[in-house]
């Protein structure tokens, strides 16, 4: 079985945080209720997660969402952010 690799980054803030990542189909983009996790419900596919994450980035531009599927480009993105790949 071949597994896909992908990397993403975002700046947590209103609309998306580590606690509210849309990893489940029932998770909606937006401010979750206090103490509610984005992990409730049926797990999303990688494509579904990417689509939900990118939608959040379109709706909340301040999140600065970035998705990469090529490792060299991911390293370049980390360099652009001032992080050591």
Residue 11 to residues 2, 41, 43, 83, Cα–Cα distance (Å) = 30, 25, 23, 14
pTM beyond 0.75: yes
**Region 35-57 average pLDDT:** 84
Note the pLDDT tens digit of each residue in 9-27: 999 999 899 988 999 887 5
Is residue 82 a contact partner of residue 14, using CB atoms and an 8 Å limit? no
């Amino acid at each position: 079985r071949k597994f896909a690799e992908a990397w993403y980054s975002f700046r947590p803030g209103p609309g998306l945080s580590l606690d509210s990542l849309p990893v489940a189909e029932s998770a909606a983009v937006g401010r979750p209720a206090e103490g509610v996790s984005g992990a409730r419900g049926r797990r999303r596919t990688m494509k579904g997660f990417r689509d939900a994450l990118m939608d959040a980035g379109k709706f909340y531009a301040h999140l600065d969402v970035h998705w990469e599927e090529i490792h060299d480009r991911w390293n370049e993105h980390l360099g652009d952010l001032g992080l050591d790949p």
